[in-house]
Amino acid sequence: MSVEEWVERLGGPDGPSRYRRYAVSSVGFMSFCEVGLWTIWVVRGGFGPLVTATVMVLGVAHAGLQLLLWRSALYHYLSLGPRPHGPAAVYTAVTAAMAAWGCVMLSSGRIENGDLTAYMLWLLMFYAGPPVLGLGLRAGAALVAVLSVASVAGAAVAGLSGETLILLIGATAVMVPFMATASLASGWGVRLVEELVAARETQARLAVAEERLRFGRDLHDVLGRNLAVVALKGELAAQLARRGRPEAVEHMEEVQRIARESQREIRSVVRGYRTADLHTELAGARSVLEAAGIDCRIEYGPAARLPTDVQSALGWVVREATTNVLRHAPGASRCTMALRTAGPTTALLVMENDGAPDEEPGTGTGLSGLRERLTGLNGTLAVEHSGGTFRLTARIPWEEGA
C-alpha cells in the first residue's frame, strides 16, 4: 500500500480507530524487537543456563507488560480510560528487578562490563515510553528519571566503571528522553487525528444548519410582515362585521389579496431552492463541502449549453448528492463533480466521494425523488458503492440548441 492510499484510508469513517490500531501495532513491533534484542544478547554472550533462562523470562514479561501498559496509557491519554497506576507499578517493578539482576550478574562475574552496558541501555530505553504517556509528563518523567539514575548507580556499585560507565550514562541520557518523547508524540498524533475528524463532523453539521437558517430567514422575510397584516386586517374585518359595517368586505378582500401575494412570494422562494441555476448549485456545493473540510473539484463541461429543465434537474442531483456526502460520509476528504457529454445527445453528471461507510446505506427518499425527477426527462440515475467510494451517475438526453 502506498503512502497516499494509507493516508486516504485514514480519512474514512473509522479512520481514528484505524490510526489508533496502527499506533498500538507499532508499539507491538517495538515489544517484538525488545524480545529479539534479549535473544541476541543471550545467544552472543554464551552465558550459562541460569542467566539465559532468567533474562529471557524477565525480558518476555517486560515486553508484554510494555505493550499492555502502552495500550492502557494511550486510552487514558485519549480520555477513554482510567490512569493505569496498577500496570505502571507492575511494569516498574519488573524493570527494577531486571536492573537488579543485571547488577548481580556483573558483580558475580557472570557477565562483562560491556554486556551490562547494553543490557541496562536496552532495558531503560524500552521502559521510558509508557509511564510518561500514562502517568502524565511530570509524574512519568520523574519515575523514569529515578529508576534510570538508580539503575546506573547500581551498575556503578556492582563494578561498572571507566569508559563503559561513561558510555552507559551518555547513552541513557540521550535514548531514555528520546523514547519518552516518541511515546508522547505517538499519543499526540492519535489524539490529533480524532480531534480533526470530530472538527470535520462539526463543520459539516454547521454547514447544514447554516443552510437551514438561511431558508428560515428567507421565509421570515417573506411571510413575517404579510402574516402580521393579515392578522390585523382579519381582526378589523371581524369587528366591522359585528357592527354591520360594509367596510368589512373591503378589508377581507385586502386579506385575500395579501394571501395571494404571499403565495406568489413563497413560491418564488421555494422555486429559488428547487430550480436554482446549475452553476449556482455547483458553486454552493463547493462552498459547503470546503467549509466541512472536504476538497471539492468541479468539471463544468457543457453546463452553460444545457437547457433550463436539464440544468434544474442536474442542480437537484448536485444538491441531494452534497447532502448525502455531509450526512452519510463524515470521514470524506475529497469529492469530485464532473459534468460531461456521453455522445452528442446525453448529458452525464458524475459525483464521487470517499469516506463512504463499509456497509451500503439503505435506500432513502432523496435518491428515489431524484429518480422520479430524471424519469420525467427520460433520464436515469445509477449508484455505485465499493471500497469506501460512493459514485452517483445521472444521465439525461438533450439536444444541442433545444
In sequence order, the 6+-apart residues with CB closer than 8 A to the CB of 214 are none
pLDDT at 172: 92
Distance from CA of residue 208 to its chain's centroid? Answer: 19
pLDDT at 207: 75
Q: 204-274 has which fold? A: 1.20.5
Q: What is the pLDDT of residue 6?
A: 42
Read off the pTM: 0.53
pLDDT for position 221: 61
For residue 273, what pLDDT is reported? 58
Q: Residues 228, 286: contact at Cβ < 8 Å?
A: no
Q: Determine the pLDDT at residue 217.
A: 67
- The DSSP annotation for 193-231 comes to HHHHHHHHHHHHHHHHHHHHHHHHHHHHHHHHHHHHHHH
- 199-208 in b/e form (b: 16+ CB < 10 A) is ebbebbeebb
Task: Classify 175 as helix, strand or coil.
Answer: helix
Looking at residue 14, its pLDDT comes to: 55
User: What is the model's pLDDT at position 7?
Assistant: 41
Q: Which residues pair with 335 in a beta bridge?
A: 296, 353
Residue 257: Cβ within 10 Å count: 11
Superfamily of domain covering 278-397: Histidine kinase-like ATPase, C-terminal domain (3.30.565.10)
Check: CB of residue 28 under 8 Å from CB of residue 21: no
pLDDT of residue 326: 77
Cα torsion angle, 273, 367, 298, 334, sign: positive
Residues lower than pLDDT 70 in the chain: 1-20, 217-218, 220-226, 228-229, 268-277, 291-292, 343-344, 358-366, 400-402
CA distance 47 to 34: 19
Minimal CA–CA distance to 119: which of 104, 146, 92, 99? 99
Radius of gyration of the chain (CA): 35
**Is residue 289 within 8 Å of residue 325, measured between CB atoms?**
yes
Distance, in Å, from the CA atom of 95 to the CA atom of 68, rounded to the nearest integer, reads: 14
- Residue 382 bridge partners (DSSP): 393
Q: For the chain, what are the domain ranges?
A: 3-200, 204-274, 278-397
* pLDDT score at 13: 47
Q: Quick check: 187 and 133 in contact, CB under 8 A?
A: yes
pLDDT at 9: 47
Phi-psi region of 355 (alpha: psi -120 to 50; beta: other; left: phi over 0): left
3-state helix, strand, coil in the chain (%, to 5): 75, 10, 20
Determine the 3-state secondary structure of 391 from DSSP.
strand
Q: Residues 240, 370: contact at Cβ < 8 Å?
A: no
The SS3 call for residue 214 is helix
